[in-house]
A and B are shown apart, each in its own frame.
Chain A
Amino acid sequence: MSEPSRDALPIPHGSKACRRLFGPVDSEQLRRDCDALMASCVQEARERWNFDFVTETPLEGDFAWERVRGLGLSKVSLPAGPRGGRDDLGGGKRPGTSPALLQGTAQEDHLDLSLTCTLLPHSPERPEASPGVPGTSQGRKRRQTSMTDFYHSKRRLIFSKRKP
């Protein structure tokens, strides 16, 4: 295929834009900060959705979670490619994957699990709720190639009240 690509725009040799701005970068510190920030994302998601995304456990709170097995989603609606854009739409679930992601290939058990949430109609909050896009996709891990088993959790709002 003659798909045009950015490779047609290689970085010009000796490009002035190739430069480091603030000296050497400490990979160790990057790693530590990344871990800490991901952990805080997990915590925020946990509080926001009253769900522990690491252990896949519902917690006390505004949302009722139920596990559904063998949901009727067609294959088509699952992320198809081995990697790429769709994977990046893991939605609010994403923070839960962080431990797996950060430890590279560890925690393989997370690989084949997926959580699909359906936000049941809840009109006043709709536009606000959409940014979280928890329901859009189920990419659990980057470069995931197959998905043989998945959970489906339906989320229902018990109270109309929502934390800001």
Chain B
Amino acid sequence: MQGRGSGFFLRGRGPRKNRCPEKAGERAGTRLAMELLCCEVDPVRRAVPDANLLYDDRVLQNLLTIEERYLPQCSYFKCVQKDIQPYMRRMVATWMLEVCEEQKCEEEVFPLAMNYLDRFLAGVPTPKTHLQLLGAVCMFLASKLKETIPLTAEKLCIYTDNSIKPQELLEWELVVLGKLKWNLAAVTPHDFIEHILRKLPQPSEKLSLIRKHAQTFIALCATDFKFAMYPPSMIATGSVGAAICGLQQDEDVSSLTGDALVDLLAKITNTDVDCLKACQEQIEVVLLNSLQQFRQDQGDGSKSEDELDQASTPTDVRDIDL
């Protein structure tokens, strides 16, 4: 867990990097604007990617070996929960994603928090009135694990409209930690993205756009319970596949398409080709639903532009044409 101290150290020393991966895909004019914008809103500095980790295949193999350990133990709506329904998970997930986006959390925070939530719910029957508190606790933990400046308990309580107190959040933090056996460093789909991308024959200037879309898909998957029991590597592989396929329609981002692409992706993460295809299709369905939901929200017309910015779907999704 990274304390404030070490976080500060990193920010002070590390070169600023890649904070707006989208910029590579933009035209020169917007590019400059993005740069400026990024400098203003994001003071977080980060270290360069560690080539020793990314270019060593043992890391990928180890991730594949241990990822199963962090999956929820069962499909808990059937066997554990009596009060909580699947739509409630979606509600709390959507709320968590909004908070993470508004607070500009690192991409991994939201999927990691959802992993904690699912693992907790797979073991502990919970009344629905506790669900938002649990969501807040899981964001609290995931943010502490992944961020140099974590979310505070006070802020999270405000996001629950003060329905919980910081003290309660801290006490439940211990409960969740206990039930997760303090096993917080779960593998998430994000852990696989760079390993997958570097093995694709894409021109490097396309990679950042593919990465950005894949990250959006991963967040989308985390909001949907269908994906909760899938290995993170499969979600990552499916997300990259869906990203490339989606982008391919607009511009030539890949020399590989269709089955050749799926075969290569499946090989990288040892995923079964048919499972991968199914996963990618499910991702596309979820994206479509989410876009429709967004258009409905937009269609009711009464919202200001500000409110639209905080729509429940990841903002990037709107830019994607299927």
Interface of A with B (CB < 8 Å)? Answer: 3-6, 8-9, 11-12, 15-27, 29-30, 33-34, 37-38, 41, 44-45, 81, 84-86, 88-89, 91-92, 94-95, 98, 101-102, 127, 131-133, 142
Is B307 a contact partner of A16 (Cβ separation < 8 A)?
yes
- Given A20-B163, A21-B132, A23-B129: A11 and B144 within 8 A (CB)? no
- Given A15-B102, A17-B99, A29-B127: A131 and B182 within 8 A (CB)? yes
Is B4 a contact partner of A85 (Cβ separation < 8 A)?
yes
Is A88 a contact partner of B178 (Cβ separation < 8 A)?
no
Which chain A residue shows the least CB distance to B95?
A: A21
* Size category of the binding interface on chain B: 35 or more
List residues of chain A with CB within 8 A of the CB of B195: none
Is B160 a contact partner of A41 (Cβ separation < 8 A)?
no
Is B310 a contact partner of A17 (Cβ separation < 8 A)?
yes
Whether B152 is near chain A, meaning CB under 8 Å from some CB there, is yes
Binds A, one of B164-172, B210-218, B237-245: B164-172
List 28 A-B residue pairs with CB atoms under 8 Å apart, sorted by A's residue number: A4-B44, A6-B155, A8-B43, A9-B104, A11-B159, A17-B98, A17-B102, A18-B160, A19-B95, A19-B161, A20-B160, A21-B131, A22-B128, A25-B130, A25-B132, A29-B129, A30-B164, A30-B168, A34-B172, A37-B175, A38-B174, A41-B174, A84-B3, A89-B1, A101-B174, A102-B171, A131-B182, A132-B182
* Nearest Cβ on chain A to B312's Cβ, whole angstroms: 9
Which chain B residue shows the least CB distance to A24?
A: B163
* Nearest Cβ on chain B to A35's Cβ, whole angstroms: 9
Find B149's partner among A4, A12, A142 (CB 8 Å cutoff): A4
Most buried by A among B8, B99, B155, B181: B181
Give me the 3 closest cross-chain CB pairs, A-B, nearest first.
A4-B43, A41-B178, A131-B183
Which chain B residue shows the least CB distance to A38?
A: B175
List residues of chain A with CB within 8 A of the CB of B174: 38, 41, 94, 98, 101
Which chain A residue shows the least CB distance to B177?
A: A94
A8, B41: Cα distance in complex, Å: 8
Whether B31 is near chain A, meaning CB under 8 Å from some CB there, is no
Is B43 a contact partner of A33 (Cβ separation < 8 A)?
no
- Given A4-B11, A26-B129, A101-B171: A21 and B4 within 8 A (CB)? no
One digit per residue, 1 when the CB lies within 8 angstroms of any chain A CB and 0 when it does not, for chain B 90-128 equals 011001001100111000000000000000000010011
* Nearest Cβ on chain B to A117's Cβ, whole angstroms: 13
* Nearest Cβ on chain B to A12's Cβ, whole angstroms: 7
Whether B151 is near chain A, meaning CB under 8 Å from some CB there, is yes
List residues of chain B with CB within 8 A of the CB of A26: 129
Most buried by A among B95, B174, B175: B174
* Nearest Cβ on chain A to B57's Cβ, whole angstroms: 19
A15, B152: Cα distance in complex, Å: 17
List residues of chain B with CB within 8 A of the CB of A94: 174, 177-178, 182
A25, B103: Cα distance in complex, Å: 24
